[in-house]
Amino acid sequence: MQIKIFNISIPDGEEMNEEMNVFLRSKRVLSVEQQVVQSATGAYWCFCIRYVEGTTSARQKTDYKETLDGATFLRFSRMREIRKSLSFKEGIPAYAIFTDEELSELAKIEELTLASMKSVKGVGEKKIEKYGMHFISKPE
């Protein structure tokens, strides 16, 4: 963890304010403390920024319509609807049931069974026990 201090004059601090904003966008900020300071030369904002090197990188979104074939994407879409319904009923985020990545891997399994669900990374016994039967294809 590193610390950077910015002192920004209250009446004329636009340039320093922009410098601080550029700095904030380029770092992974852990915390910011701020305080107004009075001195003989005037008033200014003092910002203490705790950070680590590197920017915050948003995870790249996957377009599953492009990465999955037609039939697999259709299964994936149905599974997302099931997940959305379960999520709403339980009042939990959808990703807590299965992530999109887990659902895409499940959709790739031609004949989905409780046993075959175990082969997907991130899908453990508890998830299978709690949600597995909702995603198993039922004979029509």
Confidence label for 139 from pLDDT (cuts 50, 70 and 90): very low
Find the mean pLDDT for residues 68-76: 93
Judge if 83 and 109 occupy the same domain.
Answer: yes
Judge if 45 and 70 occupy the same domain.
Answer: no
Confidence label for 54 from pLDDT (cuts 50, 70 and 90): low
Assess if residue 83 is contained within a domain: yes
Assess if residue 57 is contained within a domain: no
Give me the domain span that covers residue 16: 2-52
The C-alpha torsion from 43 through 49 and 54 to 59, rounded to 10°, is: -100
Query: Is the model's pLDDT at 57 over the cut of 70?
Result: no
Higher pLDDT, 14 or 100: 100
Assess if residue 59 is contained within a domain: no
The C-alpha torsion from 13 through 16 and 20 to 22, rounded to 10°, is: 120
pLDDT in tens, 93-126: 999 999 999 999 999 998 899 999 999 999 999 9
Judge if 35 and 70 occupy the same domain.
Answer: no
CATH number, residue 126: 1.10.150.80
Residue 140: the pLDDT is 41
Residues in CB range of 61: below 8 A, 6 or more apart: none
Query: Is the model's pLDDT at 58 over the cut of 60?
Result: no
* Number of folded domains that form the chain: 2
- Which pTM does this prediction carry? 0.56
Residue 61: the pLDDT is 81
Judge if 73 and 122 occupy the same domain.
Answer: yes
